[in-house]
Structure 1
Amino acid sequence: MKKLKFILSVFLTMAVFISGCGKNTENVEKTEENKNEIVMAIGTEPEEGFDPCTGWGRYGSPLFQSTLVETDKDMNIINDIAVDYSVSDDRLLWTFDIRDDAYFTDGEKLTAEDVVFTFNTAKSSGSVVDLTVMESVTAVDDDTVQFKLAYPQSAFIYTVAGTGIVPSHLYNESYGENPVGSGPFILKQWDKGQQIILEANENYYGKIPEIKKVTILFMTEDAAFAAAKAGQLDVAVTTAGFAQNEIDGMKIANLQSIDNRGLTLPVVPDKGETTDTGAKIGNNVTSDIAIRRALSYGIDRNMLVENVLNGFGSPAYSECDGMPWGSDEAAVQYDFDKALKILEDSGWIDTDNDGIREKNGLKAEFKLLYNADDSVRQTLSIAVSQEAEKLGIKIVTEGTSWDIIDKEMYSNAVLMGWGAQNPLETYLLYHSDNVAKDYYNPENYTSEITDKYINEAMAEADSDKANELWKKVQWDGETGVSTEGECPWVWLVNVDHLYYVREGLNIGEQKIHPHGHAWPIVSNLREWKWE
């Protein structure tokens, strides 16, 4: 079938590797002696090390460090080292009372001064930790810390939840290589390029982990697959291409995520304008809302899930599907006929019968860039271009480097991915503050209505009311950023996170996983156990 052609080139070489890989009978069973240990291959080695001040733990759990608060499996805020917190009526002062029984693994007590040091260091680091909103942080006493914000931001609590506390008395330039914290695990050994070894923190203030030793090996996904088959791993990250192969003694954990992929489409025409760095702004085809909306209706997302992801995923309609601040109203049904009508009603007609529609002499043709090192993005891009071809829209796909994408994303479509456990991402993607800022809003989308909802959500004290305002960013009944609104994005799929897990290993209840830049599966590692 024509729609299957695009997957052949991606998985053909894979077939050579996995052919003949049926069930394996050489796996070793866990003995009573090693049932408190696990060996895993769950992702790449953290380039920046294990320093929360430069971003470690932002996409999962810092493991070695504690946080003031954390989120449960339903993304509710719960206490960690904080025993209580309050917010002033003007939403600018956040005061946290911290427990008095949290100790770093060198024996020193964790105090408010360590919290102050951590957040000040993180703010000045210039890293992915965005603390722009934080005006100051002070220690009221040993067990009380107070943040002053420059402006109200209800999402600040999620930033707090993602920031592990470091010891001020031990922190230095090499801290990321030798982290000391008060979390449930201790980093005992790091053989760079090979592995890390963790041990349970027996002096942890919370429940002591049942898994006493954790070895995490740094492997490619094909090497992890081979090691899992050989019985050498208890958990192995895998891909949709491998996951349909059985490994004796292991099962596939198919974990829901908001690790999404979508098309960012310039919403402004080419008027000869450029960014401060000289990058061209605008696209005369994608700036027509009929093109964007027709693509959103006319691309079969379920087909993408089945054929590109082998069924291991779900259709995506926003950056935050399934989160408390995500709106069900953003979803649309695949409707090819409606997509055609949108185009024709807007004047996009194929007058010369070359298969490409035109409007006022302009061909419905544009370029779609993707990261050439990512096979899933490549396959999605090709699939999208084939779907668009049926609509009379020609999409020219081009795999390239992020350095090139940096320069061309303001005037071309890009296949990107997002997905954070924080509504602040909605602000970053759609608020006019972030137009043409980094990768957040290269499409140059602005809306006073969108800004209004985001500003109100930021200032709202009640989290449930804030979530309702975040949802209105997607669709308020009349407008929004979803398909029926301005549609600056055409969201495509959420990619499930897939792991081979040894039978008998209970990995607990997992949160919806964020974008896969870290090890989100271990966010609840302290709850894992052998059964």
Structure 2
Amino acid sequence: MTVRSIRGVAAAALAGTVALAAAACSAPDDGRGGTAGGGKDTAVVGIAYEPETLSPLLGYGKDGNSKIFDGLLTHDAGMHLKPALAAALPEVTDGGKTYTFALRKGVKFSDGQPFTADDVVFTYGTILDEKTNNASKTELDAVDRVEKKDDHTVVFHLKYPYAPFAERTVLPIAPQHIAGKQDVNHGAFTTKPVGTGPYVLTTWSKGEKLAFKANPSYWGGAPKVKHFTMAIIKDDDIRATRLRSGDLDGAILPPNLAATFKDGSDGNAGTGRRTLTAKTFDYRNVTLPTANPVTGDKAVRQALDVAVDREAMVKGILNGAGKPAYGPAPTDSPWFAKGTERPHDLKKAEHILDAAGWKKGGDGIRKKDGRRASFTLWYLSGDKLRQEHALAFASDAKKAGIEAKVESGTWEAIEPNMKHDAVLAGGGSPADPDFDQYLLLHSSLAGDGFNNMSRYGNKTVDGKLVEARRTDDKDQRKAAYDAVQQQLVDDPAYIFLTHIDHLYVIGDRWKNLSTQIEPHDHGLASGPWWNVEDWQPAT
């Protein structure tokens, strides 16, 4: 469900649960042994999740900002595409089926070997290989073949005009001379990557930190932040504590914790911390597995969709830092279908359930044909926002006579139960609606790991998703995605709750900090550190 699929998000979260105790009590270093604020050229930030792999062949960095690697294209602060390893934006011909890229000359990988068209052909060919464990390869379904014209020219031949294809070329390019000599799924490259990017990985202590040093030969210029560490701290409270103690220069925090750092309320007035807000496509939703006789009942799904009080969640859980969610696209997105908002209406929910034969019992929970309207709802332990969303959802559901039994666990505990149990999940992609909605809703991906977790099947939705990805006519695409959202009103696949603004508290030792419109993923690729290679010293 993610610009990342939820498979990638869940894998990252699973990896982030490892060695939490070590992360909580061990101060991260900057690659040289220093701590936050210990050097003018050093920065240490706290993030919630870490990747399962650092290989772009397996999905790492596919949406850009990977730090170790570059794509052919990248995004600027406004999420507009611009050249990276390509010398210019692609030339598009043949009715949108041929993309020709002229490559930047003189670029080298961090081991000193030259970057050429061979690396591009190798990267895309390997990702599309059926033996490669890349959960998002469906996003490259349109690619027929990748052709090397010469060392500095690559041509992509598509099977059909795929509107967001250029957005897919932000995915990182791997070196054929290294990755091509290893097992793609398990080789050393997955944890010891070599790329063309602004940073070189120096240490990856799983569950604790990733440490980087600046690439002095970076084609875009050597970064001013010479040593950069990402501390993996899954627990929100611990991340806030370490930021307050000065162990971190910056961190992502949920709204209630970010608020404690405002106006010196953290007890450190004058320390120069500030809060940056990033607008996002990041949503929280509840999966409704069709294999469960309760959540698979259309009337139950419809009732839950109007029983939840989204406005109250935005106000009470997010402190206003977000908006109600009615589908994958935020209400202020040009891709949102106006008129598909579902206001909180408990009486309507009760009417739907009554009409469908779900009658309240003596304990207030409904029954139909002897079956109680009860199911388990999992959330990721340590994630306060998911916990609070899960509890609020359960409270609203109970008012309608439906019992959601809330449980917490790691992804290791949750995944085996996803076929029958609901999950407080997340996703969202600002780059293009195809990247999120196809993985989230298409029936061909039902039960495919963390794709289509509800195992939703709707022929109209399937058809519109395919129609939208196979045309580059924006009006036709908008109409198709509107139709998908309208279908979700009558036949909910998930209960969408909120879209969440990401809040970052960070010191002011550096300038040129900004945020982009962000996807669900808020780890290595997002936050004020999306452009850490461009940071400048404040003094």
Same fold (TM over 0.5): yes
Residue 535 of structure 2 is matched in structure 1 by: 528
Give the AA of the match of 1:331. Answer: E
CA gap 1:471/1:99 in 2 versus in 1, 3 angstroms? same
Q: Note the C-alpha offset of 1:144.
A: 1.5
- The CA RMSD over aligned residues, in Å, is 3.3
**Match for residue 69 of structure 2 among 65, 70, 77:** 65
Residue 341 of structure 2 is matched in structure 1 by: 331
SS at match of 2:45: strand
Deviations 1:37-81 (A, max 9, x none): 323223445442x32222221355111211111233443333222
1:110 aligned to 2:124? Answer: no
**Match for residue 452 of structure 1 among 434, 439, 463:** 463
How many residue pairs were aligned? 480
Residue 213 of structure 1 is matched in structure 2 by: 227
Distance of 1:177 and 1:361 partners within structure 2: 52
1:235 aligned to 2:250? Answer: yes
Deviations 1:298-332 (A, max 9, x none): 21123223434454443222223255544444433
Say if 1:370 and 1:414, in contact at 8 Å, map to a contact too: yes
Residue 276 of structure 2 is matched in structure 1 by: 253
Residue 16 of structure 2 is matched in structure 1 by: none
**Match for residue 97 of structure 1 among 99, 102, 121:** 102
Residue 323 of structure 2 is matched in structure 1 by: 314
Residue 159 of structure 1 is matched in structure 2 by: 168
Give the AA of the match of 1:204. Answer: Y
SS at match of 1:243: helix
Say if 2:326 and 2:342, in contact at 8 Å, map to a contact too: yes
Deviations 1:444-472 (A, max 9, x none): 4333322232122111124x336514532
Say if 1:59 and 1:515, in contact at 8 Å, map to a contact too: no
Distance of 2:245 and 2:414 partners within structure 1: 40
Residue 262 of structure 1 is matched in structure 2 by: 285
Say if 1:59 and 1:420, in contact at 8 Å, map to a contact too: no
Residue 401 of structure 2 is matched in structure 1 by: 392
Q: Note the C-alpha offset of 1:128.
A: 3.3
Distance of 1:426 and 1:501 partners within structure 2: 33
Distance of 1:92 and 1:37 partners within structure 2: 45
Q: Note the C-alpha offset of 1:211.
A: 3.1
Greater alpha carbon shift after TM alignment, 374-383 vs 113-122: 374-383
CA gap 1:201/1:316 in 2 versus in 1, 3 angstroms? same
SS at match of 2:497: strand
Give the AA of the match of 1:303. Answer: A
Q: Note the C-alpha offset of 1:404.
A: 5.8
Give the AA of the match of 1:167. Answer: P
SS at match of 1:105: coil
Distance of 1:57 and 1:43 partners within structure 2: 16
Distance of 2:36 and 2:154 partners within structure 1: 49
Greater alpha carbon shift after TM alignment, 409-418 vs 214-223: 214-223
Q: Note the C-alpha offset of 1:389.
A: 1.4
Residue 218 of structure 2 is matched in structure 1 by: 204
Distance of 1:428 and 1:493 partners within structure 2: 19
Give the AA of the match of 2:442. Answer: H
Distance of 1:73 and 1:297 partners within structure 2: 36
Distance of 1:523 and 1:415 partners within structure 2: 27
Distance of 1:45 and 1:407 partners within structure 2: 21
Residue 199 of structure 2 is matched in structure 1 by: 185
Greater alpha carbon shift after TM alignment, 408-417 vs 289-298: 408-417
Q: Note the C-alpha offset of 1:183.
A: 2.0
1:78 aligned to 2:82? Answer: yes
Q: Stretches of 4+ moved more than 6 A in 1?
A: 28-31
Residue 340 of structure 1 is matched in structure 2 by: 350
SS at match of 1:84: coil
Give the AA of the match of 1:259. Answer: D
Say if 1:60 and 1:523, in contact at 8 Å, map to a contact too: no
1:465 aligned to 2:469? Answer: no
SS at match of 1:65: coil
Q: TM-score with structure 2 length normalisation?
A: 0.78
Say if 2:36 and 2:43, in contact at 8 Å, map to a contact too: no
CA gap 1:217/1:362 in 2 versus in 1, 3 angstroms? closer
Say if 2:58 and 2:127, in contact at 8 Å, map to a contact too: yes
Map 1:377-526 → 2, pairs under 5 A: 377-400=386-409, 402=411, 405-421=414-430, 422=432, 423-462=434-473, 464-465=474-475, 467-469=477-479, 471-475=481-485, 479-481=486-488, 484-503=489-508, 505-506=510-511, 508-516=513-521, 518-519=523-524, 520-521=526-527, 522-526=529-533
Residue 188 of structure 2 is matched in structure 1 by: 174
Distance of 1:413 and 1:499 partners within structure 2: 30
SS at match of 2:62: coil
Residue 126 of structure 1 is matched in structure 2 by: 133
Say if 2:70 and 2:195, in contact at 8 Å, map to a contact too: yes
SS at match of 1:110: coil
Q: Note the C-alpha offset of 1:140.
A: 1.4
CA gap 1:470/1:374 in 2 versus in 1, 3 angstroms? farther
CA gap 1:448/1:215 in 2 versus in 1, 3 angstroms? closer
Say if 2:314 and 2:323, in contact at 8 Å, map to a contact too: yes
Q: Note the C-alpha offset of 1:442.
A: 4.0
Distance of 2:372 and 2:110 partners within structure 1: 64
Distance of 1:406 and 1:375 partners within structure 2: 19
Distance of 1:79 and 1:455 partners within structure 2: 28
Residue 24 of structure 1 is matched in structure 2 by: none
Say if 1:263 and 1:416, in contact at 8 Å, map to a contact too: yes
Q: TM-score with structure 1 length normalisation?
A: 0.79
Distance of 2:108 and 2:207 partners within structure 1: 30
Q: Note the C-alpha offset of 1:123.
A: 3.2
CA gap 1:363/1:197 in 2 versus in 1, 3 angstroms? closer
Say if 1:430 and 1:441, in contact at 8 Å, map to a contact too: yes
SS at match of 2:230: strand
Deviations 1:221-250 (A, max 9, x none): 544433322334321233445323234221
SS at match of 1:480: helix
Distance of 1:220 and 1:436 partners within structure 2: 26
Larger Rg: 1
CA gap 1:398/1:178 in 2 versus in 1, 3 angstroms? closer
Give the AA of the match of 1:490. Answer: I
Distance of 1:409 and 1:71 partners within structure 2: 34
Q: Note the C-alpha offset of 1:282.
A: 4.4
Give the AA of the match of 2:82. Answer: I
Residue 291 of structure 1 is matched in structure 2 by: 300
Runs of 5+ in structure 2 lacking a partner? 1-23, 25-34
Deviations 1:181-225 (A, max 9, x none): 222233355566654443444443336544343233344554443
